Structure 1
Amino acid sequence: MAARQEVKLFGTPNSPYSRRVEIALNLKGVDYEFVAENLSNKSPELLEYNPVHKMIPVLLHNGKPVVESAVIIEYIDETWSSGSSILPADPLGKANARFWAKFIDDKAMPVIRSIRRFQGEEQVRVIGEAVELLKLLESELKGKKFFGGETIGLVDITANFIALWIGVYEEIMGIRVITKEKLPVLCQWIDDYLNSSIVKKSLPSRDQLYEYLDLQIKKRR
């Protein structure tokens, strides 16, 4: 009989980074306990398990912590053989997936997140910059259902912010970033991704996210 494995995820319900890890765990069929953190009053456990960044998400596997969403996802893929693989088997495929995941985190998301800080012509300029970055990402997607091919992989999971969070920001702020005219392939990917049973199970509801993000934007005004 296999030994019982303790898996806990320290995160917040509306964090795209926490939700990435949940998608990976659910893709692999791993049972886990979600420990909701209050980032204004972080628990002693979070500070103990991630003393460097003191941030979520943290995966606790049999008492051993793993931190940073990208690192955690690869750890999950390598630790559990059940379910579909999150990264390609070949080294070139792995390198390519890591490149685009890093592109999303280091290039696309900072620009997209900055849109809410601008108004008028400056906002239009930043939206245009975000669209150009998303066009580069879309070029990687052409001819495929998901970035991982026929199944959801690392890049898809990393792009969950693009699939759900951007649309909610658009609604709150009355702007348009992703349109079928400018990004038709990415729009189709969003529909396919959000309609995946695993993703539906792993992401917050749109109403829940709207309420949370609307409040965060109002606090900053």
Structure 2
Amino acid sequence: MSQEVVCVDFWANGFGMRVRIALREKGVQFEIKEEDLQVKERSKLVLEMNPVYRSIPILIHHGKPVIGSINIVEYIDEAWKEGPALLPADPLDRAKARFWSDYIDKMLFSVQTKFLKSKGDEKEESKAELIANLKQLEQVLDDKKYFGGDQFNFLDIMLITFSSMFSGYEQHGNFLIGVECPKLMAWVKRCRERESVASTLPDDREMYELHKIWYGIE
């Protein structure tokens, strides 16, 4: 591999987008190795670098792999001290950021999957749960500019990649996130004005169209 830092990822992988945003926030030059998640077979590189889970994203630094999006972003923050800090300096604030990151992955992502795949009453129930999850996160944001206060940081990175599916949520469920969670949508707008985010997040329509294929949505 020609570069010191390589990100193995798929363009529509929200978890991998976190890694690319974090690297760009830190000003780290990196190479992207595209792994097509639309095919079942994983590449030789993925099998070699992540033989346990065979999943992406994978950060390869000096030829050594780092696995798991949350773990990778923490690694980036520790490995490149010269850039802006991503995790809060205060231990309690760091613990809170990790807690809500876990909430996003365990609650929001699982509800998103259920919402997109379900039908009838189950879909309405999952839509209500999805909105409740977003409102919970909006309460955490409160009136702050970013989840990290005045500074865009770790928890912002964890959640902003999900915003590439917000338009899809609205189309799929016939509701407006801006009505349900106005502060959260204002935060999305601020985040998307950042170069690191704007250059990473894909087109919302393309994201939803791909998810429609993945989840068999007509």
Q: Which residue of 2 aligns with 1:175?
A: 174
Q: Which residue of 1 aligns with 2:106?
A: 106
Deviation at 1:160, TM superposition (A): 2.4
Task: Provide, for residues 131-178 of structure 1, a one-character-per-residue CA deviation record: whole Å limited to 9, x for no partner.
Answer: 11222111110121111112221111111243212323433x3532x5
Q: Matched residues in 2 for 1:24 and 1:103: separation?
A: 19
Q: Which residue of 1 aligns with 2:10?
A: 12
Q: Matched residues in 1 for 2:93 and 2:173: separation?
A: 38
Report whether the alignment pairs 1:70 with 2:70: yes
Aligned length, in residue pairs: 215
Report whether the alignment pairs 1:150 with 2:147: no
Q: Which residue of 2 aligns with 1:189?
A: 187
Q: Which residue of 2 aligns with 1:44?
A: 44
Q: Which residue of 1 aligns with 2:19?
A: 21
RMSD over aligned Cα, in angstroms? 1.9
Task: Report if aligned partners of 1:28, 1:80 keep a CA contact under 8 Å in 2.
Answer: yes
Task: Report if aligned partners of 2:3, 2:31 keep a CA contact under 8 Å in 1.
Answer: no
Q: From the superposition, tell whether residues 206 and 154 of structure 1 become closer, same or farther in structure 2 (CA, over 3 Å).
A: same
User: Which stretches in structure 2 are left out of the alignment for 5+ residues?
Assistant: none
Task: Report if aligned partners of 2:19, 2:69 keep a CA contact under 8 Å in 1.
Answer: yes
Q: Matched residues in 1 for 2:95 and 2:161: separation?
A: 22
Q: Matched residues in 2 for 1:69 and 1:112: separation?
A: 18
Deviation at 1:189, TM superposition (A): 1.0
Task: Provide, for residues 67-103 of structure 1, a one-character-per-residue CA deviation record: whole Å limited to 9, x for no partner.
Answer: 0000000000000023321100111111010011111
* 1:45-60 superposed matches below 5 A: 45-60=45-60
Q: Which residue of 2 aligns with 1:96?
A: 96
Report whether the alignment pairs 1:212 with 2:210: yes
Deviation at 1:184, TM superposition (A): 1.5
